């Protein structure tokens, strides 16, 4: 399993690598170009689709579900993932807003972005709380716990990779 996560980190690094380029320190203009902005939307959609596919494969490889459990688990997983994707849309919008404002961001804008980012984190936690009993009805408790461990690990890896690619607010000046 460690090797699978290492491969995933490399994949994420390759996919998210373009985010630091337009905003990195010492690279001339701190503002992204129009071409970069239009390309980011498409890149994000493709990346998110690929990440969802990789995540599902990783979870399938590590849960060891019986055929009966899989029949019940995967439709609920797809429902969970659809709701998580909607929250991901909010996170993506915040990242794009951050990118748009970086270089001219005021204290108020920085505070607003941070508050909304924390609200997104809270929504993810609430979604997990909502789905835990649902998953517990279709698979044993150890499978549920393992699923949420994998889900959190996966999200944590993505969050770390993304955070490492975004410049710090104070570096805009």
DSSP string, 3-20: HHHHHHHHHHHHHHGGGH
Would you state the pLDDT for residue 170?
78
CA 81, CA 56: separation in Å to the nearest integer?
A: 10
Predicted structure pTM score: 0.73
Token pair 């499978």 in the structure block, residue: 143
Answer with the residue of higher pLDDT: 155 or 5: 155
Residue 128 has pLDDT above 90, yes or no: yes
d(CA 101, CA 50): 28
Neighbour tally for 72: CB within 10 Å: 15
What proportion of the chain, given as a percentage, has pLDDT over 90? 43
> Based on the number of CB atoms within 10 Å of its own CB, is 31 exposed (0-12), middle (13-18) or buried (19 or more)?
middle
Q: Where are the domains of the chain?
A: 2-172
Closest CA to 79 of 36, 138, 38: 138
pLDDT of 103 above 50: yes
The region of weakest confidence among 122-136, 138-152, 157-171 is: 157-171
């Amino acid at each position: 399993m460690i090797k699978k996560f290492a491969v995933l980190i490399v994949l994420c690094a390759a996919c998210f690598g373009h985010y630091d380029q337009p905003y990195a320190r010492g690279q001339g203009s701190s503002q992204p170009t129009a071409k970069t902005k239009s390309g980011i939307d498409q890149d994000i959609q493709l990346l998110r689709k690929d990440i969802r596919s990789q995540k599902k494969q990783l979870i399938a490889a590590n849960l060891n579900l019986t055929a009966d459990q899989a029949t019940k688990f995967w439709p609920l997983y797809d429902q969970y993932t659809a709701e998580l994707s909607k929250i991901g849309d909010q996170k993506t919008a915040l990242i794009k807003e951050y990118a748009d404002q970086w270089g001219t961001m005021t204290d108020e804008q920085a505070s607003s972005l941070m508050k909304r980012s924390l609200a997104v984190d809270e929504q993810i936690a609430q979604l997990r709380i909502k789905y835990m009993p649902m998953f517990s009805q279709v698979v044993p408790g150890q499978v549920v716990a393992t699923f949420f461990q994998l889900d959190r690990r996966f999200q944590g890896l993505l969050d770390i990779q993304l955070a490492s690619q975004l410049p710090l607010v104070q570096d805009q000046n």
